[in-house]
């Protein structure tokens, strides 16, 4: 077996022999398995390129009665970054999804390293939506929804893949189609104040207040107005965000929604919760050669699921494998945009 490979028979959620699609814990385990299947399918492709024949990916979806319908391929490096799976065993009482469109996270392998890191950097710059990878994803999502209907198509993704799924979900929400979406460790592109200064609450509060004041002053100075209609248009879409408070890549969502709830979206505080400092400054400076769009991470509504379980040994809290375990201590909070 190639180094780093994780067969379903060894690490997968084999306990889930019967799936109740009304149980969110079951959904969590199955959907993360499909995401893992996309990663393993790309690893299979890389093994094949080197003349090998090892195939580990299918067991990650076969076990749950899914079949692979399409692979989503990056036109630049020809890597598989997503896949469309069809559920082949629905029932009247427990139908499940018709299709799941899943997007993998970053693979630090020679064949995918450059392109994946470019995509991660694009998240920080808020330009991921301009990439060919996202345009391909949106095309496949739009096509599948047009054929099957929005109620039959689910989106899921992990880390970088969660960012791609989020953009695809936003795109459909603007058209009035709210897809069931399950996003694991979605990146929150902001300075990780809470993580770096976790032992000094006074420093955290001071830096947070300073950031807010700068944004407010920049917004007032630039005459920046909030496009309330645009923000409200997607408020009916409530993606499930699975985050870990120990993971600095995604834990910003926890504080983000707490602040949103406290500010009640009133006045200028509502304005800065809808926009990033980067966008406000860019508009003030009239930087025309950069497309200004709403930041990836600013969502009107969401179902936030926090993993409160203690870390497992030395395994990073950002790992996907945490989410398919059956005994997690989770806290769920629903945030609705008013």
Residue 125 within any structural domain of the chain: yes
Segment holding 183, helix H or strand E: strand 180-184
pLDDT digits (tens, 9 = 90+) for 321-332: 999 999 899 999
Higher pLDDT, 78 or 2: 78
> Sign of dihedral through CA atoms 193, 168, 235, 294?
positive
Q: Which range, of 50-59, 74-83, 186-195, 254-263, averages the lowest pLDDT?
A: 186-195
pLDDT grade for 267, boundaries at 50, 70 and 90: very low
- Average pLDDT for the chain: 84
Is residue 1 situated within a structural domain?
Answer: no
Distance, in Å, from the CA atom of 74 to the CA atom of 329, rounded to the nearest integer, reads 36
- Cα torsion 118, 124, 129, 134 to 10°: value is 40
- The confidence band for 338, taking pLDDT boundaries of 50, 70 and 90, is confident
In a domain, 202, yes or no: yes
Mind listing the pLDDT tens digit for each residue in 76-98? 999 999 999 999 988 888 899 99
Specify if 3 maps to a domain: no
Res. 72: pLDDT tops 60: yes
Q: Are strands 153-158 and 99-103 parallel, antiparallel or unpaired?
A: parallel
Distance CA(185)–CA(179), nearest Å, equals 19
Q: How far, in Å, CA of 165 to CA of 155, rounded?
A: 6
On whether residue 252 sits in a domain, the answer given is yes
Residues 6+ apart with CB under 8 A from 61: 33, 34, 37, 67, 68, 85
CA distance linking residue 312 with residue 241, whole number of Å: 21
Asked if residue 274 is part of any domain, the answer here is yes
Domain that holds residue 305: 8-335
Of the candidates 159, 215, 156, 164, which has an alpha carbon nearest to the alpha carbon of residue 188? 159
Residue 205 has pLDDT above 70, yes or no: no
* Both structure tokens of 235: 């408020």
Residue 311 lies in a domain: yes
Residue 34 — pLDDT band, cuts 50, 70, 90? very high
Cα–Cα dist 265/256, whole Å: 12
Q: How many domains does the chain have?
A: 1
Domain harbouring 20, CATH code? 3.40.50
DSSP character for 321? G
Checking if the pLDDT of 105 tops 50, the result is: yes
- How far is it, in rounded angstroms, from Cα 228 to Cα 113? 38
> Angle at the Cα of 269 (from 265 to 270), degrees rounded to 5?
30
Q: Tell me the two tokens of residue 315.
A: 């395994």
Asked if the model's pLDDT at residue 73 lies above 90, the reply is yes
Which run of H or of E encompasses 114? helix 113-125
- How far is Cα 121 from Cα 131, in angstroms, rounded to an integer? 11
Is 243 contained in some domain? yes
* pLDDT confidence band for 231 (50 / 70 / 90): confident
- Alpha-carbon distance of 222 to 180, in angstroms, equals 37
- Write the CB contacts of 258 (distance below 8 Å, at least 6 apart in sequence): none
- Give the pTM: 0.85
Tokens of 87: 């559920």
Closest CA to 158 of 11, 288, 23, 32: 32
Listed range (50-54, 130-134, 162-166, 287-291) with the worst mean pLDDT? 287-291
- Number of separate helices (H) and strands (E) present in the chain: 12, 8
């Amino acid at each position: 077996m190639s180094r780093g490979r994780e067969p379903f028979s060894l690490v997968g959620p084999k306990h889930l022999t019967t799936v109740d699609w009304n149980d969110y814990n079951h959904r969590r385990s199955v959907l993360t398995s499909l995401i893992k299947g996309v990663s393993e399918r790309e690893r299979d492709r890389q093994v094949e390129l080197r003349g090998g024949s090892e195939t580990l990916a299918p067991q990650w979806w076969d076990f749950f009665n899914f079949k692979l319908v399409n692979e989503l391929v990056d036109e630049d490096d020809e890597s598989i970054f997503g896949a469309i799976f069809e559920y082949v065993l629905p029932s009247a009482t427990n139908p499940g999804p018709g299709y799941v469109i899943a997007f993998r996270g970053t693979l630090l392998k020679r064949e995918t390293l450059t392109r994946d890191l470019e995509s991660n950097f694009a998240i920080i710059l808020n330009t991921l939506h301009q990439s060919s990878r996202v345009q391909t994803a949106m095309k496949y999502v739009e096509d599948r929804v047009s054929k099957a209907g929005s109620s039959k198509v689910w989106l899921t993704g992990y880390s970088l893949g969660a960012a791609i799924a989020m953009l695809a979900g936003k795109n459909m929400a603007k058209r009035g189609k709210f897809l069931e979406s399950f996003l694991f460790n979605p990146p929150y592109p902001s300075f990780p104040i809470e993580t770096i200064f976790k032992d000094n609450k006074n420093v955290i509060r001071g830096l947070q207040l300073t950031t807010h004041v700068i944004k407010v002053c920049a917004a007032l100075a630039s005459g920046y107005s909030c496009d309330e209609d645009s923000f409200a248009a997607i408020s009916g879409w409530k993606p499930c965000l699975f985050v870990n408070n120990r993971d600095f890549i995604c834990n910003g969502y926890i504080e983000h929604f707490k602040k949103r709830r406290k500010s009640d979206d009133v006045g200028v505080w509502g304005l800065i919760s809808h926009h990033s400092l980067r966008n406000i400054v860019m508009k003030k400076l009239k930087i025309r050669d950069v497309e200004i769009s709403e930041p990836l991470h600013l969502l009107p509504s969401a179902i936030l699921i926090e993993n409160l379980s203690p870390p497992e040994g030395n395994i990073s809290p950002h790992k996907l494998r945490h989410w398919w375990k059956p005994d997690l201590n989770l806290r769920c909070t629903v945030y609705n945009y008013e």
